[in-house]
Amino acid sequence: MKTPFSILGEDGVRALVSAFYDIMDSNPEFTELRHMHAADLTRVKDRLSEYLIGWLGGPPIYLEKYGTVCMTEPHANFAIGPRERDQWLACFKQALAAVDASEELLEMLDGPMFRLADAVRNRETSENPIAANPDIIATSHRSRVSHG
């Protein structure tokens, strides 16, 4: 059975992830997403590559290293609503175009990528309820979390 990993291979997955973060880093359309990440993207590039290698049908590198493939817990500190999910998907689609993904690969990933992105969504809206409330004058919610 053909899998996205059999099409891309490990180097292809890593190139896709690199393109994804390069696009996020340079495109003002994805500024909100970029601010959810540490200044140095090296660690997150490795982690997403390792996760996607297994998720796309390759060896379970992420699972072997971290003991879980749960994506909701690592994203729990971030306010992720529909807008953030859709930005992530748009960035990922641009990365697929940047690595000249085949039509076959695009079709294989269309629904699953949406489900993956939607699984980490932890809010129904992308509106900030704190900013909308004039009675709240201070908050401890951090918009940027350092990933070491």
The CATH number of the domain holding residue 37 is: 1.10.490.10
Tell me: pLDDT of 147 over 60: no
In a domain, 30, yes or no: yes
Mean pLDDT of 77-93: 90
Rounded Cα gap, residues 36 and 112, in angstroms: 23
In a domain, 132, yes or no: no
Phi-psi region of 61 (alpha: psi -120 to 50; beta: other; left: phi over 0): alpha
- Which range marks the domain in which residue 87 is found? 7-119
- Residue 71's pLDDT is 75
Neighbours of 129 (CB within 10 A): 10
In a domain, 11, yes or no: yes
- Residue 127's pLDDT is 65
- Residue 128's pLDDT is 56
In a domain, 24, yes or no: yes
31 in Cβ contact with 110 (< 8 Å): no
In a domain, 141, yes or no: no
Triad 132, 145, 66: Cα angle to 5°: 130
Triad 114, 98, 104: Cα angle to 5°: 55
In a domain, 71, yes or no: yes
- Residue 74's pLDDT is 73
Alpha helices in 1-146 (DSSP H): 4-26, 31-34, 42-55, 61-66, 82-98, 103-119
Q: What is the tally of structural domains in the chain?
A: 1
- Residue 142's pLDDT is 41
Mean pLDDT across the chain: 85
In a domain, 128, yes or no: no
**pTM of the entire predicted model:** 0.81
In a domain, 82, yes or no: yes
